[in-house]
Structure 1
Amino acid sequence: MSLHLQTPLIASRPLSLASGQEVWLKLDALQPSGSFKLRGIGLACETFAKQGKRRFVSSSGGNAGIAVAYAGRCLGIPVTIVVPQTTTERARQLIAQENAEVIVHGATWHEANELALSLLGGEDAFIHPFDDPLLWQGHSTMIDEVAAAGFKPDAVVLSVGGGGLFAGVCEGMARQGWDDVPVFAVETAGAASLAAAMAQKQRVALDSVKTYATSLAAKQVCQRAFELSQSRPVISHVLSDGQALEACERFLSDHRILVEPACGAALALAYAPSSALKQYEKVLVVVCGGVTATLDQIREWRAVS
């Protein structure tokens, strides 16, 4: 039995009315850990547990760490998570709530990741938050579920941070023969590493990241995500933190589900589609979730964004 759940696929009347399109939602915000991350991370943790690993170590801005901690508790394996200083106090508490050790280190995820790697012992497994074929394999199952429901979209909208969700969704789409379906890859302006890579046609690292969508705050997308952006139909879209935050509040009102700004980025494009997205009638939005921000915090950020 897998650690993740099969999540609902629903038609969104509010988003359809707002966009003038037929908008469907894959509600991975309803995973037990609060985000899609559990699909791939759960698979990775189960795989390493079968190999006899005795501890899971990971680095995370929040949701990946929560998913590793949840998986470790379910499997009875100790977990250590290293988070950067930008990780919210709520995220740290949610990781600790799963009985995991939380270490705060560095100004960015990359610095936290370096420390996490240095902690590894011979019986430990490192769970990467986005750059691992096991993760992509797990994340790809959401597309299998959509296809099993008998639905094929004309376009898919999702948020991009390090590129793990993007890589997994593309893997699932390829397995289902959806190579003709474009993916709209949405980022916030302060963390648009995929947009930069696509513009320069090479994988590049941002000098810095600055966004309230901290789960998108990777300076560089994984190699697989870049390769996919060059080999299949992908449309990059960059928007502001303010737009992502507004979409979080609007989605809470419309669907009674609170997501964090990283997920709000994809929803923002769905609420106000670009001219490129408007060309497609049936749109699937991956509601990737995220539980590291409260409504009060979202409103506080929105007031100053």
Structure 2
Amino acid sequence: MPLHIHTPLIESRPLSRTAGRPVWLKLEALQPCGSFKLRGVGHACEIHQGRGARHFVSSSGGNAGLAVAYAGRKLGLPVTVVVPETTTERAKELLRQEDASVVVHGSSWQEANAHAQTLLGPNDAFIHPFDDPLLWAGHASMIDEVAAAGVKPDAVVLSVGGGGLLSGVVEGLQRNGWHDVPVLAVETEGAASLHAAIEAGHTVELPGIQSVATSLGAKRVAEQALACCRTHTVHSHLVSDREALDACERLLLDQRLLVEPACGAALALLQHPEVLAPYANVLVIVCGGATATLEQIRAWREQLA
């Protein structure tokens, strides 16, 4: 049995009315650890355990780290997660709830990631947050579930951080023969590493992340994400932090589900009817996010105001 669950696929009446067309939601926020990350991370952890790994190491204070911690606990293997100093106390507490050992190092994910590499022993497996073919294969299973439900969208809307979700969804679309279904890839304006890569024609490193959507905060998108833009129709879109935060509150009101601003970025695109005009019905990946609270979302909104 896989470590992830088969998540609900629902048609949202409130969001459909807002968008002026049927809007389907793939509710990945309902995964046991709070985000889609468990699909790819769980798959990777099971593969590495089968190859002899006896300890998992990760470098993420967010959803990927939580997924590794959950997977390790379910598989009976210890987990060490290296997080940067900017990681919230809530995120660290959630990691410890899953029995992970938490190491705080560096001022950024890049520094935490470099330190994590030094901790690897001969029986350890490193689980990358977004850049690994095992992750993409696992994430693709959400599209398998949509296809099995008999729902073929005219477009898929998703958020992009490091590009793992995009890479997995494109893999899922292609292996189900949905080469004609475009992906609308959404980033916040201060964390747009995919948008920058598309404009440059190659991956580039952003000078910094200027967004409250910290889960989108990869300074450089994965090479595979840019490659997907060459082998599949992918349209890049940007939204503001305020739009992403507003979308989080709307989803809570409409569907009684709280997600973080990184997920709100994709949902915010539903407020742009001119973007959705070519598509009769739309699938949104509600990727989730376990570390945001309603109080935090409202505090961010006040800061932006």
TM-score range (shorter-chain normalised) is: over 0.9
Match of 1:45 in 2: 45
Q: Which residue of 2 aligns with 1:75?
A: 75
Question: Which amino acid in structure 2 is aligned with residue 155 of structure 1?
Answer: A
Q: Report runs of 4+ in structure 1 exceeding 4 Å deviation.
A: none
What aligned pairs does 1:39-188 form with structure 2 within 5 A after superposition?
39-188=39-188
Long gaps (5+) in structure 1? none
Alignment-mate amino acid for residue 13 of structure 2: R
Question: C-alpha separation between the residues in 1 aligned to 2:61 and 2:188?
Answer: 16
SS at match of 1:56: strand
Identity %, equivalent residues = 64
State the secondary structure of the residue aligned to 1:185: strand
Q: Is the 8 A contact 1:203 1:220 kept in 2?
A: yes
Could you tell me whether the CA contact under 8 Å between 1:86 and 1:214 is conserved in 2? no
SS in structure 1 at match of 2:186: strand
- Cα distance, 1:274 vs structure 2: 4.8
Q: CA deviation at 1:199?
A: 0.8
Q: In structure 1, what is the equivalent of residue 26 of structure 2?
A: 26
Tell me the distance in 1 between the aligned counterparts of 2:180 and 2:8. Answer: 24
Tell me the distance in 2 between the aligned counterparts of 1:132 and 1:156: 22
Aligned length: 304
Contact 2:61 2:81 in 1 (8 A): no
3-state SS, counterpart of residue 277 of structure 2: helix
2:231 equivalent in structure 1: 231
The answer to which of 183-192 and 106-115 deviates more is: 106-115
- Structure 2 counterpart of 1:252, which letter? L
Shift of 1:110: 1.1
Task: Report if the CA contact (8 A) 1:61-1:215 is conserved.
Answer: no
1:301 is matched with which residue? 300
- Aligned-partner Cα distance in 1 for 2:248–2:201: 32
Determine the C-alpha separation between the residues in 2 that align with 1:44 and 1:274. Answer: 38
Q: Would the aligned equivalents of 1:37 and 1:63 in 2 still touch at CA under 8 Å?
A: yes
Deviation per residue, 1:118-143 (Å, 9 max, x gap): 11111100000100000000000000
Post-superposition Cα deviations, 1:11-63, rounded to whole Å, max 9, x if no partner, equal 00010011111100000100001000000000111111111211100011400
Counterpart CA distance in 1 for 2:107 and 2:274 is: 37
- Give the partner amino acid of 1:279: P
What amino acid is aligned across from residue 279 of structure 2 in structure 1?
Y
Gaps of 5+ in 2: none
Distance 1:110 1:104 in 2: 13
Q: Which residue of 1 aligns with 2:242?
A: 242
Query: RMSD in angstroms over aligned alpha carbons?
Result: 0.9
Which residue identity lines up with residue 121 of structure 1 in the other structure? G
Helix, strand or coil: the match of 2:274?
Answer: coil
Partner in structure 1 of residue 221 of structure 2? 221
- CA deviations on 1:99-118 (whole Å, 9 max, x unpaired) are 10111222221111111111
**AA matched with 1:286:** I
Match for residue 275 of structure 2? 276
Secondary structure of the residue that 1:279 maps to in structure 2?
coil
Residue 191 of structure 2 contacts residue 211 of structure 2 at CA under 8 Å; is this kept in 1?
A: yes
- The letter for the 2-side match of 1:275 is E
- TM-score of the two chains, using structure 1 as the length reference: 0.98
Task: Choose 104-113 or 155-164, whichever is displaced more.
Answer: 104-113
Confirm or deny: 8 A CA contact 1:87 1:214 kept in the other structure.
Answer: no
**SS of alignment partner, residue 206 of structure 1:** coil
Amino acid at match of 1:75: L
Report the Cα distance in structure 2 between the residues aligned to 1:15 and 1:85, rounded to whole angstroms. 37
- Are 2:289 and 1:290 aligned? yes
State the shift of 1:72 in Å. Answer: 0.5
